[in-house]
Every structure is written in C-alpha cells, then in structure tokens.
C-alpha cells in the first residue's frame, strides 16, 4: 500500500491532489500518480450516505477533488459525473453550487463516487460557502474568524478511488467536529469500517479538552445558540491565537538536549528494516547520517507549529530520505516518544502521549474512538494508527453520520 501523508490547509488552499489526498504531502490516501496493476475497479462505485445523527436540520453533501484521469479539479454530482471548476479570480468569486441534498434523519441515500482524489463534505442546516481564487478552490478555514463557514456545523471525509482500489478515512487533522464513520464493502460481502466514536465519545472528547490545562479548552468553537461546532487542531489553534505558540517547547528543548549527547535512530520503512538513519544535534540543527556516515538531511530545531502541522521545519517532501525521516519525527514529537525510545518509529500505542507535554488533542480523540484509530495529526498513519479502510476491489463505500453525544 502506498505511504500516506497529510498537509494542513491554508486559507486559500486549492483543491489539488496535493491539497487533498495522495502520498507524502497530502491529506490522506495513495498518490494519484501511483502506478498500479490494472484492477477491475469500475469508473464509479456507490456510496451510501446514512443520517443517524438524530438532528432535524437538512444535510448537504459535496464531493470535491481531483479527477485522476486528467488532473483537473472540480466536483462530482450525485451520479458521479465530473464538473470542472471554472476559472477563479484574484478576488475569490463564488463557486458553482455543488451541494447534493442529503438524507433526512434516519434515512439513507446513495451517490456514485468517481475515480477521484477528494473530500466528501457534509453540513447541517446550511450550505457551505466555497469560492474560487486564481489558485483554485478556497476551502473552509474556520480558524479564521471571518470565514463564512465559521458558524456552520460541518465536517468531511477523504478518499481516493483509483485502479488500485478505494482508500477512505475519517479525519481530525484540521478539527474534531460532527461525528461520522466510514466503511467499504469487500468482494466477499464483508464490510469494514472505522471512525466511530465510543458511546458518549463526542461529548467525552470536548469535556476532556475543557479539563486540560494550558489553553487547550480554547480550541473549542461554539455558536451563539450554544451549539458546540468543533475543536480546532492545535496548529490551527496557534494560528488563531487560541493556543500558546510555545505549548510544545519544553518537550522540544528536552529532545534537543538529549540528542546532543546521544544518537536517535530512525528506521522509516517497515519493509526495509535495514535502512537506518542516525540523528545527532549540533547547535540548532539535527543532522542525519546514513550507514556510511554521510549526512543525508538536516532539520532545524522545530517550533510547536512545525510539530503539530508536520511542515515548515519538519517538511516532508515526496522523496525516499528526508520525507520518511520527517514523518517519523513528526509522529514521535506529537506522541511524545522521543525521550522514551531512541529507536523510531515507536509503533506501540502503549507508550504514546505519556509526557505531560504532548499533543493532548490527538491523545484525547484517540481515547474516544471505538477502535482507537484516528487521524489526529498529519502522520498519524505511522504505525497504522489512522482511521482508514482500504480494499483493492471495493463494491460499495459508506459514510454514516452519528449522533453528537
């Protein structure tokens, strides 16, 4: 299976394969450029969308992304027909209305998924506002108080459907909001799913976040009518001024001091355990060497935002050296395992989030998932702790909206 990675969205992030779903720089799923053996995957597959939320508002569904056969960005209607976005402007202009009316509470509907790398957005009570800039689609960025979607309850799933099959996941990389589960049907008729919270897990997550000292409660956004809309991911919280920009600094400082006098070993490929890189700190730089002693890449001392976003000073390009090392470091920083294990990745969740300084947002959402799996940060797939299902010959996909309890 291709490696998977994510990138935080910017205020004007275009809907591209790199901004949505793909390999080492993307939100989740295999790269649209992955060359796979031909498979009997049809041009579209059915997705059953079920509303078990118990909420009375209308639901709106969107299927936005990249058409893999052409690389064009756009949207798909309920029949799976692709519609390219028109040109945007230097001042963002309204996008065409791509909303598909969703099912009422207790009801289901079926749409068709085309061979796409994209997102399935859904919103309650109100359509989402999408605009087009010269760089592409302007995605919701609710860490910005002026975003027109700020007071709408919404969320999204991510997927890639190509000749190698279907990858579909739930995500908390940008926020925790209206709960849902994803699934797929395999050729033998069995259904696999992920993303479902434990009973009471939605409220449990927000209550736990409210009780976490250090500003973590400020990640929660609430509407004037009292509706809890979401909790921002900590990187977005830093951007919005809701979380101190220094929140991970103590841990980062201790890691830096530790590896100034000892060696961090990174083995980034589970299928190639003999490939190892060795990291040592010198001043403000951690240098990694290969087996010959040659420096292969170097990282500046990261700040908290770099850790939470797995970017900037922990950038992970689509290569075979820096990217795999960076994603391993990112996971270890977020899970706070670098001081307890000098051989990374540490894939046993028993040791995750044990330091007092850690990604408490990711810790708390994992604790509330029925199967323990979540996409709490960009490289939560290190060690296969992500909320993702895949099959090479999918017969059907599922998105199920769950109660906000």
Active site residues: 158, 174
Determine how many CB atoms are found less than 10 A away from the CB of residue 200.
Answer: 12
Q: Residue 92, exposed/middle/buried by CB under 10 A (0-12, 13-18, 19+)?
A: middle
Cα dihedral value 23, 26, 32, 37, nearest 10:
30
Query: Taking the alpha carbons of 85, 87, 89, 93 in that order, is the dihedral positive or negative?
Result: negative
CA separation for the pair 48, 401 (Å, rounded):
11
Residues sharing a CB contact under 8 Å with residue 181, sequence separation 6 or more, in sequence order? 170, 193, 194, 195, 196, 398, 399, 400, 402
Contact 122, 102 (CB under 8 A): yes
**Residue 172 and residue 231: Cα distance in Å, rounded?**
9
Dihedral sign computed on CA atoms, order 7, 346, 208, 314: negative
* CA 7 from centroid of its chain's CA atoms: 8
Measured CA to CA in angstroms, residue 110 lies from 59, 180, 347, 369 at distances of 14, 16, 37, 26
How many CB atoms neighbour CB 135 within 10 A? 15
Question: Do 163 and 39 form a contact (C-beta atoms < 8 A)?
Answer: yes
Cross-strand partners of 44: 114
What is the C-alpha separation between 365 and 385, in angstroms, rounded? 12
């Amino acid at each position: 299976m291709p490696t998977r990675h994510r990138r935080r969205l910017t205020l004007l992030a275009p809907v591209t394969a790199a901004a949505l779903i793909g390999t080492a720089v993307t939100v989740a799923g295999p790269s649209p450029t992955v060359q796979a053996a031909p498979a009997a995957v049809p041009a579209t597959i059915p997705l059953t969308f079920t509303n078990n939320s118990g909420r009375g508002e209308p639901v709106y569904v969107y299927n936005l992304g990249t058409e893999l056969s052409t690389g064009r960005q756009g949207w798909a209607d309920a029949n799976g027909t692709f519609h390219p976005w028109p040109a945007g402007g230097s001042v963002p202009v309204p996008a065409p209305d791509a909303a598909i009316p969703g099912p009422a509470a207790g009801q289901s509907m079926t749409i068709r998924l085309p061979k796409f790398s994209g997102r399935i957005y859904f919103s309650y009570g109100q359509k989402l506002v999408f605009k087009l800039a010269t760089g592409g689609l302007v995605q919701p960025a609710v860490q910005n108080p002026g975003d027109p979607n700020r007071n709408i309850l919404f969320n999204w799933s991510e997927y890639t459907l190509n000749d190698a099959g279907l990858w579909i996941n739930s995500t908390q990389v940008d926020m925790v909001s209206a709960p849902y589960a994803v699934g797929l049907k395999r050729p033998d008729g069995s259904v696999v799913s992920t993303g479902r919270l434990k009973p009471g897990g939605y409220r449990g997550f927000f209550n736990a976040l409210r009780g976490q000292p250090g500003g973590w409660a400020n990640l929660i956004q609430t509407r004037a009518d009292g509706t809890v809309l979401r909790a921002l991911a900590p990187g977005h919280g830093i951007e919005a001024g809701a979380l101190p920009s220094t929140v991970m600094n103590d841990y980062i400082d201790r890691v830096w001091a530790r590896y100034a006098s000892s060696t961090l070993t990174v083995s980034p490929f589970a299928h190639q355990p003999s490939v190892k890189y060795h990291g040592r700190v010198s001043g403000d730089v951690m240098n990694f060497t290969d087996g010959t002693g040659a420096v292969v890449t170097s990282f500046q001392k990261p700040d908290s935002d770099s850790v939470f976003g797995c970017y900037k000073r922990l950038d992970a390009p689509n290569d075979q050296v820096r990217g795999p090392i960076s994603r391993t470091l990112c996971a270890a920083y977020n899970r706070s395992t670098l001081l307890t294990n000098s051989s990374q990745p540490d894939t046993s969740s028993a040791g995750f989030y044990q330091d007092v300084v850690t990604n408490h947002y990711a810790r708390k959402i994992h604790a509330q998932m029925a199967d323990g799996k979540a996409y709490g940060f960009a490289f939560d797939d290190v060690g296969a702790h992500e909320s993702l299902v895949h099959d090479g010959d999918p017969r059907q996909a599922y998105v199920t909206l769950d109660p906000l309890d």
